[in-house]
Amino acid sequence: MIIMKMIKVVQGDITKMKVDAIVNAANTTLRGGGGVDGAIHRAAGPELDIACARFHGCNTGEARITPGFRLPARYVIHTPGPVWHGGNHGESSLLHNSYFNSLQLAEQNQCETVAFPSISTGVYSYPLDAAAQVALTTIKDFLQTSKSVQTVFMVCFDSQTLAAYQQAYQQLGIQ
């Protein structure tokens, strides 16, 4: 049996994804915020905030997992991405860690399908083209050795984000 691992770049609403886990571009408190974080907390219901409160926060680049509650996804993996400070403060390493540690948690919880938003490219101001390269490179490398994770969706909220991820996808020669 041959299992095809793949990355799919799509435009849509991550809170509607029927996958094993969606990733939340959280803040370090894990208690909800704006953008995708707020949308995920609203869609999951108040139980998500209660579950997140038990972690007492999360450092940038690390990840935590909770049930999906009212979401169609079984789990929510929360990871605070880095705030962009010009690129010379370890941002790319921290962003890599956000994707890698999220995938590790998905793997540990036997998730086959995972959906990511574009981490740090909203209010954290990470340049979209650079973020897409880090995200897709990290995911591509992870899938080469993953046992559980088979399909990773990059869920782009708007057409500008979609175009950046499609361009990075082509540049990296992802099949």
Residue 118 dihedral angles phi and psi, to the nearest 5°: -80, 100
Domain that holds residue 34: 6-171
Q: Is residue 133, in this structure, part of any structural domain at all?
A: yes
pLDDT at position 2, please? 60
The strand pair at 6-11 and 151-156 is best described as parallel
- CATH at residue 43: 3.40.220.10
Q: Is the pLDDT of residue 1 over 80?
A: no
Residues with active-site annotation: 37
pLDDT in tens, 21-54: 999 999 999 998 889 999 999 999 999 999 999 9
> In the chain, what percentage of residues exceed pLDDT 70?
98
Predicted model pTM: 0.96
Structural domains counted in the chain: 1
pLDDT at position 34, please? 87
Q: Is residue 111, in this structure, part of any structural domain at all?
A: yes
Q: Is residue 1, in this structure, part of any structural domain at all?
A: no
pLDDT in tens, 77-111: 999 999 999 999 999 999 999 999 999 999 999 99
Q: Are 85 and 91 in contact (CB under 8 A)?
A: yes
